[in-house]
Chains A and B, each alone.
Chain A
Amino acid sequence: DVKVTQSSRYLVKRTGEKVFLECVQDMDHENMFWYRQDPGLGLRLIYFSYDVKMKEKGDIPEGYSVSREKKERFSLILESASTNQTSMYLCASSLETGSTGNTIYFGEGSWLTVV
């Protein structure tokens, strides 16, 4: 079975703190993604990575950075958390098959509250 695991389900952090959200997948997928989900705004892509140490900005990268040192692990970093980063964060992964029919799989989400 496909498994994407987000290490923290619920976090409360203070404004200005550095925050790490960790994600691990066990399917040997090349691609990994970080989205945030807010009511009325749907899913918005923050960053994705297509290989170790490779990353691409998504639609809303400002205030975030990412790290992919190993194929199975993709971290989202908030250098200095702000209250407008309070949100649900979703990690996902997909296989690069070289043909169509790729499917994206999601973790359970991390609820971050910045106070």
Chain B
Amino acid sequence: GEDVEQSLFLSVREGDSSVINCTYTDSSSTYLYWYKQEPGAGLQLLTYIFSNMDMKQDQRLTVLLNKKDKHLSLRIADTQTGDSAIYFCAESNDNYGQNFVFGPGTRLSVLP
């Protein structure tokens, strides 16, 4: 079946760049997403990328997609303590909005 994998933990120093990586198995994935979950809260959509793109930039966030290797990354520039959260990678391949596969989440800790 479809699978999405992420490393579970990442620590960075405030002001550095963070890179969170994700790999997926479904070659028919058409949209890939990054969600952020702050402590005690739900998942907030950060950004998404269509599979025919290889990069998307939105302020401090850069998403890179290597479709050949099925590898997705999220780069956060100038990481702040407010970026400490769990980041989920997800993929979708259907036209009905019913099938989303989520990774286990990467817990980002930002050290002062």
Contact = CB atoms under 8 A, between A and B. Distances in A.
Are A and B subunits of one complex?
Answer: yes
A90 B42 contact: yes
- What 4 A-B pairs come out closest when comparing CB atoms? A102-B97, A94-B97, A106-B42, A100-B30
B97 A104 contact: yes
Interface of A: 4, 6, 29-31, 40-43, 48, 50, 90, 92, 94-109, 111
Interface of B: 30-31, 33, 35, 40-45, 48, 50, 88, 90, 92-98, 100, 102-105
B42 A107 contact: yes
Contacts of A41: 104
B88 A100 contact: no
A108 B42 contact: yes
A3 B94 CA distance: 23
Contacts of B92: 100, 102, 104
A8 to B, nearest CB: 13
A106 B43 contact: yes
A95 B90 CA distance: 16
